[in-house]
Structure 1
Protein backbone atom coordinates (compact mmCIF):
# COMPACT_ATOMS: atom_id res chain seq x y z
CA UNK A 1 0.00 0.00 0.00
CA UNK A 2 2.95 2.30 0.65
CA UNK A 3 4.24 1.76 -2.90
CA UNK A 4 0.79 2.48 -4.34
CA UNK A 5 0.59 5.72 -2.33
CA UNK A 6 4.12 6.66 -3.41
CA UNK A 7 3.25 5.96 -7.05
CA UNK A 8 0.13 8.16 -6.82
CA UNK A 9 2.20 10.98 -5.38
CA UNK A 10 4.82 10.76 -8.14
CA UNK A 11 2.22 10.40 -10.92
CA UNK A 12 0.28 13.44 -9.71
CA UNK A 13 3.31 15.56 -10.70
CA UNK A 14 3.29 14.40 -14.35
CA UNK A 15 1.60 16.85 -16.76
CA UNK A 16 -1.33 15.47 -18.71
CA UNK A 17 -1.94 12.50 -16.39
CA UNK A 18 -4.68 12.65 -13.79
CA UNK A 19 -5.02 10.25 -10.86
CA UNK A 20 -8.54 9.36 -9.81
CA UNK A 21 -9.00 10.36 -6.20
CA UNK A 22 -11.77 8.16 -4.78
CA UNK A 23 -12.33 10.52 -1.86
CA UNK A 24 -13.38 13.27 -4.29
CA UNK A 25 -14.99 11.22 -7.05
CA UNK A 26 -16.79 8.76 -4.75
CA UNK A 27 -17.19 10.47 -1.36
CA UNK A 28 -19.80 7.96 -0.11
CA UNK A 29 -17.68 4.88 -0.83
CA UNK A 30 -15.38 4.37 2.09
CA UNK A 31 -13.91 1.04 1.01
CA UNK A 32 -12.11 1.82 -2.25
CA UNK A 33 -9.23 -0.52 -3.03
CA UNK A 34 -5.97 1.33 -2.24
CA UNK A 35 -4.08 -1.12 -4.48
CA UNK A 36 -5.85 0.07 -7.64
CA UNK A 37 -4.88 3.31 -9.35
CA UNK A 38 -6.95 4.73 -12.19
CA UNK A 39 -5.13 7.19 -14.43
CA UNK A 40 -6.83 9.57 -16.84
CA UNK A 41 -4.91 9.97 -20.11
CA UNK A 42 -7.37 11.99 -22.23
CA UNK A 43 -5.41 15.22 -21.67
CA UNK A 44 -2.64 13.59 -23.72
CA UNK A 45 -5.08 12.99 -26.58
CA UNK A 46 -4.88 9.23 -25.97
CA UNK A 47 -7.43 6.60 -25.14
CA UNK A 48 -6.76 4.02 -22.47
CA UNK A 49 -6.55 1.43 -25.25
CA UNK A 50 -3.78 3.34 -27.04
CA UNK A 51 -1.98 3.88 -23.73
CA UNK A 52 -2.16 0.15 -23.03
CA UNK A 53 -0.55 -0.65 -26.40
CA UNK A 54 2.21 1.93 -25.93
CA UNK A 55 2.92 0.79 -22.38
CA UNK A 56 3.11 -2.86 -23.33
CA UNK A 57 5.36 -2.32 -26.36
CA UNK A 58 7.65 0.33 -24.87
CA UNK A 59 7.82 -0.50 -21.17
CA UNK A 60 6.46 -4.01 -20.64
CA UNK A 61 3.66 -2.59 -18.45
CA UNK A 62 0.24 -4.22 -18.66
CA UNK A 63 -2.63 -2.27 -17.06
CA UNK A 64 -5.36 -4.30 -15.40
CA UNK A 65 -8.14 -2.45 -17.24
CA UNK A 66 -8.30 -0.10 -20.24
CA UNK A 67 -11.13 2.27 -21.01
CA UNK A 68 -11.86 5.10 -23.42
CA UNK A 69 -10.21 7.78 -21.26
CA UNK A 70 -8.21 5.87 -18.64
CA UNK A 71 -6.26 2.86 -17.50
CA UNK A 72 -6.38 1.10 -14.15
CA UNK A 73 -3.27 -0.41 -12.58
CA UNK A 74 -3.18 -3.05 -9.87
CA UNK A 75 -0.53 -3.25 -7.16
CA UNK A 76 0.14 -6.48 -5.23
CA UNK A 77 2.59 -8.14 -2.87
CA UNK A 78 4.82 -8.70 -5.90
CA UNK A 79 5.02 -5.01 -6.82
CA UNK A 80 8.48 -3.58 -6.18
CA UNK A 81 9.96 -0.10 -6.13
CA UNK A 82 11.56 -0.91 -9.51
CA UNK A 83 8.08 -1.53 -10.94
CA UNK A 84 6.93 1.85 -9.63
CA UNK A 85 9.98 3.57 -11.14
CA UNK A 86 9.36 1.89 -14.51
CA UNK A 87 5.71 2.99 -14.36
CA UNK A 88 6.58 6.60 -13.51
CA UNK A 89 9.28 6.74 -16.19
CA UNK A 90 6.84 5.30 -18.74
CA UNK A 91 4.23 7.91 -17.83
CA UNK A 92 6.82 10.70 -18.06
CA UNK A 93 7.85 9.44 -21.52
CA UNK A 94 4.22 9.35 -22.56
CA UNK A 95 3.62 12.87 -21.27
CA UNK A 96 6.79 14.22 -22.92
CA UNK A 97 5.97 12.66 -26.29
CA UNK A 98 2.18 13.21 -26.42
CA UNK A 99 1.44 16.42 -24.53
CA UNK A 100 3.17 18.72 -27.07
CA UNK A 101 1.28 16.99 -29.91
CA UNK A 102 -2.10 16.92 -28.20
CA UNK A 103 -3.54 20.12 -29.77
CA UNK A 104 -2.64 18.74 -33.21
CA UNK A 105 -4.22 15.32 -32.61
CA UNK A 106 -7.65 14.74 -34.05
CA UNK A 107 -8.64 12.34 -31.27
CA UNK A 108 -9.53 14.40 -28.23
CA UNK A 109 -11.35 12.37 -25.61
CA UNK A 110 -13.17 15.08 -23.72
CA UNK A 111 -16.52 14.53 -25.46
CA UNK A 112 -16.77 11.15 -27.12
CA UNK A 113 -20.24 10.01 -26.24
CA UNK A 114 -21.58 7.81 -29.05
CA UNK A 115 -25.20 8.35 -28.10
CA UNK A 116 -27.48 10.39 -30.28
CA UNK A 117 -30.39 12.31 -28.81
CA UNK A 118 -32.39 11.62 -31.96
CA UNK A 119 -31.42 8.17 -33.17
CA UNK A 120 -33.54 6.57 -35.88
CA UNK A 121 -34.81 3.02 -36.08
CA UNK A 122 -35.50 1.75 -39.60
CA UNK A 123 -36.54 -1.77 -38.49
CA UNK A 124 -37.62 -3.27 -35.21
CA UNK A 125 -34.76 -5.03 -33.40
CA UNK A 126 -36.45 -8.38 -34.14
CA UNK A 127 -36.77 -7.64 -37.87
CA UNK A 128 -33.15 -6.51 -38.10
CA UNK A 129 -31.85 -9.44 -36.07
CA UNK A 130 -33.47 -11.99 -38.38
CA UNK A 131 -32.81 -10.10 -41.64
CA UNK A 132 -30.04 -11.22 -43.97
CA UNK A 133 -26.79 -9.41 -43.32
CA UNK A 134 -23.63 -8.49 -45.17
CA UNK A 135 -20.12 -7.68 -43.96
CA UNK A 136 -18.97 -4.16 -44.72
CA UNK A 137 -15.86 -2.14 -43.98
CA UNK A 138 -16.30 0.51 -41.32
CA UNK A 139 -15.88 3.30 -43.88
CA UNK A 140 -18.92 1.93 -45.78
CA UNK A 141 -21.47 1.56 -42.95
CA UNK A 142 -22.72 5.12 -42.40
CA UNK A 143 -26.45 5.30 -43.09
CA UNK A 144 -26.86 1.51 -43.17
CA UNK A 145 -29.11 -0.45 -40.83
CA UNK A 146 -27.35 -2.15 -37.94
CA UNK A 147 -27.96 -5.90 -37.79
CA UNK A 148 -26.38 -6.76 -34.44
CA UNK A 149 -25.88 -5.28 -31.01
CA UNK A 150 -22.55 -3.41 -31.17
CA UNK A 151 -21.17 -3.16 -27.66
CA UNK A 152 -17.60 -2.17 -26.65
CA UNK A 153 -16.25 -3.31 -23.30
CA UNK A 154 -15.54 -1.39 -21.22
CA UNK A 155 -18.02 0.15 -20.52
CA UNK A 156 -20.35 -2.59 -21.79
CA UNK A 157 -23.10 -0.25 -23.02
CA UNK A 158 -24.43 -0.88 -26.56
CA UNK A 159 -23.52 1.81 -29.07
CA UNK A 160 -25.83 0.44 -31.75
CA UNK A 161 -28.78 -1.95 -31.66
CA UNK A 162 -30.36 -4.01 -34.45
CA UNK A 163 -32.58 -1.85 -36.66
CA UNK A 164 -30.86 1.43 -35.83
CA UNK A 165 -29.42 3.65 -38.59
CA UNK A 166 -25.63 3.77 -38.20
CA UNK A 167 -24.42 7.37 -37.73
CA UNK A 168 -21.05 9.03 -38.25
CA UNK A 169 -20.95 9.75 -34.51
CA UNK A 170 -21.30 6.04 -33.65
CA UNK A 171 -18.60 5.18 -36.20
CA UNK A 172 -16.23 7.82 -34.77
CA UNK A 173 -16.74 6.38 -31.29
CA UNK A 174 -16.07 2.82 -32.46
CA UNK A 175 -12.87 3.97 -34.17
CA UNK A 176 -11.75 5.74 -30.99
CA UNK A 177 -12.28 2.64 -28.85
CA UNK A 178 -10.45 0.37 -31.28
CA UNK A 179 -8.45 -2.03 -29.18
CA UNK A 180 -11.27 -2.67 -26.75
CA UNK A 181 -13.39 -5.79 -26.95
CA UNK A 182 -16.33 -4.92 -29.20
CA UNK A 183 -19.00 -7.58 -29.40
CA UNK A 184 -21.01 -7.70 -32.62
CA UNK A 185 -18.18 -6.72 -35.00
CA UNK A 186 -15.24 -8.42 -36.60
CA UNK A 187 -12.01 -6.55 -36.04
Structure 2
Protein backbone atom coordinates (compact mmCIF):
# COMPACT_ATOMS: atom_id res chain seq x y z
CA UNK A 1 0.00 0.00 0.00
CA UNK A 2 1.34 3.42 -0.91
CA UNK A 3 0.35 4.75 2.52
CA UNK A 4 3.37 3.02 4.13
CA UNK A 5 5.82 4.80 1.82
CA UNK A 6 4.22 8.18 2.58
CA UNK A 7 4.30 7.52 6.31
CA UNK A 8 8.00 6.64 6.17
CA UNK A 9 8.69 9.82 4.18
CA UNK A 10 6.72 11.88 6.71
CA UNK A 11 8.72 10.36 9.57
CA UNK A 12 12.06 11.08 7.86
CA UNK A 13 11.02 14.64 7.04
CA UNK A 14 9.78 15.27 10.57
CA UNK A 15 13.01 14.01 12.10
CA UNK A 16 15.10 16.19 9.78
CA UNK A 17 12.99 19.27 10.48
CA UNK A 18 13.16 18.58 14.19
CA UNK A 19 16.94 18.39 14.16
CA UNK A 20 17.31 21.63 12.17
CA UNK A 21 14.77 23.53 14.24
CA UNK A 22 16.19 22.39 17.55
CA UNK A 23 19.67 23.50 16.55
CA UNK A 24 18.30 26.91 15.58
CA UNK A 25 16.32 27.16 18.81
CA UNK A 26 19.38 26.23 20.88
CA UNK A 27 21.33 29.05 19.24
CA UNK A 28 18.53 31.53 19.92
CA UNK A 29 18.22 30.44 23.54
CA UNK A 30 21.95 30.78 24.14
CA UNK A 31 21.85 34.42 23.03
CA UNK A 32 18.89 35.34 25.29
CA UNK A 33 19.33 36.25 28.94
CA UNK A 34 16.16 34.34 29.88
CA UNK A 35 16.55 30.90 31.42
CA UNK A 36 16.52 28.15 28.79
CA UNK A 37 13.47 25.91 28.54
CA UNK A 38 14.06 22.24 29.16
CA UNK A 39 14.48 20.32 25.93
CA UNK A 40 12.94 16.87 25.69
CA UNK A 41 13.21 14.14 23.10
CA UNK A 42 12.01 10.58 22.95
CA UNK A 43 11.45 7.53 20.78
CA UNK A 44 8.74 4.89 21.21
CA UNK A 45 8.69 1.78 19.01
CA UNK A 46 6.49 -1.13 20.04
CA UNK A 47 5.26 -4.26 18.29
CA UNK A 48 1.78 -3.80 19.70
CA UNK A 49 -0.92 -1.18 19.59
CA UNK A 50 -3.86 -0.37 21.78
CA UNK A 51 -7.10 0.27 19.89
CA UNK A 52 -7.82 3.00 22.46
CA UNK A 53 -4.86 4.91 20.97
CA UNK A 54 -6.40 4.59 17.51
CA UNK A 55 -9.83 5.48 18.82
CA UNK A 56 -11.66 2.85 16.77
CA UNK A 57 -13.35 -0.35 17.94
CA UNK A 58 -12.39 -3.85 16.90
CA UNK A 59 -14.77 -5.31 14.34
CA UNK A 60 -16.84 -8.07 16.02
CA UNK A 61 -15.31 -11.48 15.30
CA UNK A 62 -12.25 -10.09 13.50
CA UNK A 63 -8.90 -11.64 14.27
CA UNK A 64 -5.38 -10.17 14.12
CA UNK A 65 -3.90 -10.46 10.64
CA UNK A 66 -0.30 -10.91 9.48
CA UNK A 67 0.85 -10.61 5.88
CA UNK A 68 3.80 -12.93 6.53
CA UNK A 69 4.64 -15.40 9.27
CA UNK A 70 7.19 -13.08 10.90
CA UNK A 71 4.99 -10.01 10.45
CA UNK A 72 3.37 -8.25 13.39
CA UNK A 73 -0.36 -7.51 13.50
CA UNK A 74 0.10 -4.12 15.16
CA UNK A 75 2.69 -1.47 15.89
CA UNK A 76 3.19 1.87 17.58
CA UNK A 77 5.90 4.25 16.38
CA UNK A 78 6.43 7.64 17.90
CA UNK A 79 9.08 10.24 18.44
CA UNK A 80 9.31 13.66 19.96
CA UNK A 81 12.07 16.18 19.47
CA UNK A 82 11.38 19.43 21.24
CA UNK A 83 8.26 20.97 19.69
CA UNK A 84 8.16 18.33 16.95
CA UNK A 85 6.68 14.90 17.13
CA UNK A 86 4.95 12.08 15.35
CA UNK A 87 2.88 9.14 16.52
CA UNK A 88 1.63 6.34 14.29
CA UNK A 89 -0.52 3.51 15.64
CA UNK A 90 -1.56 0.65 13.33
CA UNK A 91 -3.48 -2.60 13.85
CA UNK A 92 -4.26 -5.17 11.15
CA UNK A 93 -7.22 -7.53 11.17
CA UNK A 94 -8.99 -10.10 8.99
CA UNK A 95 -12.63 -11.15 8.84
CA UNK A 96 -14.71 -13.49 6.72
CA UNK A 97 -17.62 -11.01 6.78
CA UNK A 98 -18.74 -9.09 3.70
CA UNK A 99 -16.58 -6.12 2.60
CA UNK A 100 -19.56 -3.74 2.47
CA UNK A 101 -20.63 -4.69 5.99
CA UNK A 102 -17.17 -4.06 7.47
CA UNK A 103 -16.84 -0.82 5.47
CA UNK A 104 -20.16 0.49 6.83
CA UNK A 105 -19.13 -0.45 10.38
CA UNK A 106 -15.95 1.61 10.14
CA UNK A 107 -17.54 4.51 8.26
CA UNK A 108 -19.96 4.80 11.19
CA UNK A 109 -17.12 4.57 13.73
CA UNK A 110 -15.05 7.21 11.89
CA UNK A 111 -18.07 9.54 11.65
CA UNK A 112 -17.77 10.17 15.37
CA UNK A 113 -14.66 12.24 14.57
CA UNK A 114 -16.10 14.32 11.72
CA UNK A 115 -16.89 14.03 8.01
CA UNK A 116 -15.60 10.78 6.53
CA UNK A 117 -13.76 10.98 3.21
CA UNK A 118 -13.78 8.08 0.78
CA UNK A 119 -10.17 8.11 -0.45
CA UNK A 120 -10.50 4.86 -2.41
CA UNK A 121 -8.97 4.84 -5.89
CA UNK A 122 -11.43 6.48 -8.29
CA UNK A 123 -13.53 8.16 -5.58
CA UNK A 124 -14.36 11.87 -6.07
CA UNK A 125 -12.16 12.89 -3.10
CA UNK A 126 -9.20 10.83 -4.35
CA UNK A 127 -9.60 12.17 -7.90
CA UNK A 128 -9.69 15.74 -6.56
CA UNK A 129 -6.47 15.15 -4.57
CA UNK A 130 -4.80 13.69 -7.66
CA UNK A 131 -5.95 16.64 -9.82
CA UNK A 132 -4.65 19.17 -7.28
CA UNK A 133 -1.29 17.42 -7.25
CA UNK A 134 -1.04 17.33 -11.06
CA UNK A 135 -1.87 21.06 -11.22
CA UNK A 136 0.86 21.75 -8.68
CA UNK A 137 -1.63 23.09 -6.13
CA UNK A 138 -1.22 22.85 -2.40
CA UNK A 139 -2.86 19.85 -0.74
CA UNK A 140 -6.22 20.35 0.90
CA UNK A 141 -5.35 19.83 4.60
CA UNK A 142 -8.75 18.19 5.11
CA UNK A 143 -8.66 16.16 1.89
CA UNK A 144 -7.24 12.79 0.91
CA UNK A 145 -3.77 14.16 0.15
CA UNK A 146 -1.44 11.27 -0.63
CA UNK A 147 -3.71 8.75 1.07
CA UNK A 148 -5.12 6.20 -1.32
CA UNK A 149 -5.19 2.57 -2.15
CA UNK A 150 -5.10 -0.03 -4.87
CA UNK A 151 -7.92 -0.41 -7.37
CA UNK A 152 -9.87 -2.94 -5.29
CA UNK A 153 -9.02 -1.42 -1.90
CA UNK A 154 -11.33 0.86 0.07
CA UNK A 155 -9.80 3.69 2.08
CA UNK A 156 -11.68 5.96 4.49
CA UNK A 157 -10.17 8.91 6.30
CA UNK A 158 -11.29 11.44 8.89
CA UNK A 159 -9.31 14.37 10.23
CA UNK A 160 -6.67 16.70 8.88
CA UNK A 161 -3.39 16.14 7.09
CA UNK A 162 -1.53 16.20 10.41
CA UNK A 163 -4.00 14.41 12.66
CA UNK A 164 -6.15 11.71 11.13
CA UNK A 165 -7.60 8.25 11.42
CA UNK A 166 -7.68 5.92 8.46
CA UNK A 167 -9.24 2.56 7.67
CA UNK A 168 -8.19 0.57 4.61
CA UNK A 169 -9.99 -2.61 3.57
CA UNK A 170 -9.01 -5.08 0.88
CA UNK A 171 -10.59 -8.35 -0.22
CA UNK A 172 -8.06 -11.20 -0.12
CA UNK A 173 -9.51 -14.50 -1.24
CA UNK A 174 -12.63 -15.13 0.84
CA UNK A 175 -11.55 -12.72 3.57
CA UNK A 176 -11.29 -9.00 4.07
CA UNK A 177 -7.97 -7.72 5.41
CA UNK A 178 -8.16 -4.30 7.00
CA UNK A 179 -5.92 -1.85 8.78
CA UNK A 180 -6.88 0.71 11.40
CA UNK A 181 -4.50 3.62 11.74
CA UNK A 182 -4.07 6.89 13.58
CA UNK A 183 -1.40 9.44 12.66
CA UNK A 184 -0.54 12.55 14.66
CA UNK A 185 2.10 15.07 13.56
CA UNK A 186 3.11 17.94 15.84
CA UNK A 187 5.06 21.02 14.76
CA UNK A 188 5.76 19.70 11.28
Judge same fold: TM > 0.5, yes or no. Answer: no
What TM-score do you get using the length of structure 2 for normalisation?
0.25
1 or 2, which has the higher strand percentage?
2
Structure with the higher helix share, 1 or 2? 1
TM-score, normalised to structure 1, is 0.25
